[in-house]
Structure 1
Amino acid sequence: MQINLSQYLTRIGYQGSLAPTVAVLHGLTRAHSQSIPFENLDVFLRRPVELELDALFNKLVLSQRGGYCFEQNGLFLQVLLQLGFKAKPLAARVRLRTVDRSEMPPRTHLFIIVTLAAQQWLTDVGVGSLSLTQALLWQNGLEQQTPHDRRRLIQEEGRWFHQVWQDNHWQDIYEFWGEVMPISDQKVANWYTSTHPESSFRDQIIVSRALPEGGRLSVLGDELRHRHPNGGLTTHRIQPNELKNVLLEHFNLRWPEE
């Protein structure tokens, strides 16, 4: 199946070149992360998360919803492939909640590697409030300034770590080994993430998007968070009767129908 690229590009508000270049990869990554919110409403509401391409397109584009990594990067991967990029899905272990590197969290994250002119670039529009707004060159130790934060990829004893500079230190986002994540593995990880009692996505609402002027807006449970371009953070407690309006006003996201 092929998706309607015109409808997708309208959804993310992208009007630039579509040539398979680094500049276009950067532009698409930023436009996607600023337009399609990361969200887990279906998981929170105990509804199934479908990974078939037509389901992803209907949800994220036609219904103007968002999704989490398997949905966001699943759709974005197809967009890149249709545009002529050499791209593949890779698996990762999220480390935001697992600081101790001796512990090994499950491989429940999907991201994308793109090969351009003999160089490899990492893009990821599905890692919540840390979704990329610019692709990263896969090079050990290179600090890379994106429109929204500073990143680097480091290798230690064969393990790669994607890190963000936040709160005056480098923080692990996830770990990867360069393993391709075929759709069969994605379905297993998606099932675990959306249904397992220990999955954090089932506990509270998580919504996030990057802002065009820099900074990010997020909802975590009953809290609205604004990470400012200078790194500062302001929060607002969301009252139960405010939630649907907050999602609509700040994320253009309507509460899913029954």
Structure 2
Amino acid sequence: MDVDALLDRIGAKPPAAPTGATLSELHRAFALTMPSEDYDIHLGVPISLHLDDIADKMIRRRRGGYCYELNGLFAGFLRELGFDVTLFSAFTIGEDGTHGPDFDHLRLLVDTFDGLFLADCGNGGSWIDPVPLRTGVHGHVRLQRDGDLWWTSERRHDGRWEPGWAWYPRARELPEFGERSRYHEHDPHSYFVARRFAVLPTPDGRISLLNGVFSEIDHDVRIDRRVDADEERSLLAERFEIVIDRPWRPLAVEKSSTAS
């Protein structure tokens, strides 16, 4: 991996030591630069979980990705910089207590000179900063555990806590996420197959494109507007630095709308 090129892309300096403070700086720089996006799925471009391929896509071609790509690259990047990083398989927990599929999300545990932190640059742009591995409330994230089971919740603007991801502290490797990634890439029931999106947090909110709707949140003020394909492509280039030079496949809802 070309660490210098990635540092240059996110506008960060190489850390002097793997501390909690430098992890926070790198996490924030990465999260504010690398968009969560799934346009390759809708372009028919295969998604690879080989680290060299992810680095080529996100550094050289200046694209974003989804959780396996974003957190996979961030893990490799941190390791190159001297951090000890563990990959966890995260899943959902339903209201009845049932567990969702393993490997549904990739979350990172980072060991620093100042203790253990959770890192997640691939959670739809909702985490800008890492979270200490310590139960309790950390900003808008609440961390809880029951024995070996850990889980997070996130506080929304209306004050309610929304369930997040859960995991067991078992170390995984990136190729183990491949089967679930292929499901998300191809299955008609996949969240990603049904949604064409790009999300990028900003210091005061976030911007997003979702199925042809552009949204901008700035200091809790939200504006939404529908855009056509040409404006969507322009917004991708101007606001997300994502250049798409060919048509994407229409979603089922767009096909239905066109037919009617």
Q: What TM-score do the two structures reach when normalised by structure 1?
A: 0.88
Identify which of 166, 183, 188 aligns with 2:179.
188
SS at match of 2:125: helix
In structure 2, the residue matched to 1:251 is: 240
Distance in 1 separating the partners of 2:7 and 2:62: 13
In structure 2, the residue matched to 1:38 is: 36
> Number of matched residues?
245
**Does residue 144 in structure 1 map to residue 133 in structure 2?**
no
In structure 1, the residue matched to 2:230 is: 241
Distance in 2 separating the partners of 1:210 and 1:118: 26
Letter of the 1:114 counterpart: V
Runs (5+) with no aligned partner, structure 2? 248-260
Alpha-carbon deviation of 1:16?
5.8
Identify which of 116, 127, 130 aligns with 2:123.
127
In structure 2, the residue matched to 1:47 is: 45
SS at match of 1:129: coil
Alpha-carbon deviation of 1:15?
2.7
Distance in 1 separating the partners of 2:243 and 2:178: 26
Residue identity (%)? 26
CA RMSD of aligned residues (A): 1.9
**Does residue 160 in structure 1 map to residue 153 in structure 2?**
no
Runs (5+) with no aligned partner, structure 1? none
Whether the 8 Å CA contact 2:184–2:192 is kept in 1: the answer is yes
Identify which of 82, 107, 126 aligns with 1:111.
107
Letter of the 2:100 counterpart: P
Distance in 2 separating the partners of 1:35 and 1:232: 22
SS at match of 2:199: strand
**Larger Cα-atom Rg:** 2
In structure 1, the residue matched to 2:255 is: none
Distance in 1 separating the partners of 2:114 and 2:10: 28
**Does residue 204 in structure 1 map to residue 202 in structure 2?**
no
Letter of the 1:238 counterpart: V
Distance in 1 separating the partners of 2:66 and 2:118: 17
Identify which of 201, 218, 226 aligns with 1:228.
218
Identify which of 43, 59, 62 aligns with 2:60.
62
Distance in 2 separating the partners of 1:232 and 1:162: 26
SS at match of 1:106: coil
Check 1:58–1:177 CA distance in 2 against 1; reply closer, same or farther (3 A cut): same
Alpha-carbon deviation of 1:18?
4.1
Describe the superposition over 1:182-213 as per-residue Cα deviations: whole angstroms up to 9, x where unpaired. 233211121111112211101121111111x3
Alpha-carbon deviation of 1:23?
0.7
SS at match of 2:85: strand
Q: What TM-score do the two structures reach when normalised by structure 2?
A: 0.87
